[in-house]
Amino acid sequence: MQTAQTNAKDVIDVLGLQIKLLTSLAMAEDAFCLVSSTMGPGTVVPLHSHPDREILHVLDGELEVFVGDRWRLLQVGEVFDVTDGIKHALRNLTAQRVRLLVFTTVRMGRFFNEIGRPLVAAAEVPLAQDVERLLTTSVRYGYWNGTPEENAAVGISLPFI
């Protein structure tokens, strides 16, 4: 098994979501990738979908997940399995951080690596160039992102788009 050399400088920021790749990306696209993730208070991952399987395991905190037509609360120890390109969103409305383990594909790990920036260089508020990089890279990967109107319909405000 290949593992990535990781330390604090390897944490990347993806529009407020902190990501640390725990396994190597030097494998086939459909190989598994393990990711450690932290969502600070108020962090939102807007409505999106992707064909890559993604399994979220809550280690600390409470996470709200939108799937289907409703928000669902995930607490410590609970798992959310994203399959078949379902549309979903995430948010942390608490005052505490949420820590997750994410099992996904190397392909999605590469996507995170492309759109993220080193945590030390992250802007407090997403910059237009970060959002543009996310959107154009998503298209290249075949990922879907909800419009501001679609996000608003499920209770997500997107001040940075």
CA 108 to chain centre: 10
- Amino acid identity, residue 23? T
In a domain, residue 53? The reply is yes
In a domain, residue 72? The reply is yes
In a domain, residue 2? The reply is no
**Residue-number span of the structural domain to which 138 is assigned:** 8-153
Residues 6+ apart with CB under 8 A from 133: 114, 115
Mean pLDDT, residues 99-110 = 97
Taking the CB of residue 99, how many other CB atoms lie within 10 A of it?
17
Yes or no: say if 12 and 116 are a contact pair by the CB < 8 Å rule: yes
pLDDT computed for residue 108 by the predictor: 96
pTM of the model: 0.88
Q: How far apart are CA 82 and CA 87, in angstroms?
A: 9
The tokens for 141 are: 């990967």
Number of domains the chain is built from:
1
Yes or no: say if 35 and 138 are a contact pair by the CB < 8 Å rule: no
pLDDT computed for residue 160 by the predictor: 62
Residues 6+ apart with CB under 8 A from 20: 6, 10, 11, 12, 35, 36, 37
In a domain, residue 149? The reply is yes
Across the chain, what does the average pLDDT equal?
Answer: 89
In a domain, residue 13? The reply is yes
In a domain, residue 33? The reply is yes
In a domain, residue 3? The reply is no
The yes-or-no verdict on residue 78 having pLDDT over 60 is yes
CATH number, domain of 147, equals 2.60.120.10
In a domain, residue 159? The reply is no
State the number of CA atoms in the 13 A half-sphere of 64 facing the CB. 18
pLDDT computed for residue 129 by the predictor: 83
**pLDDT digit string, tens, across residues 33-61:** 999 999 999 999 999 999 999 999 999 99
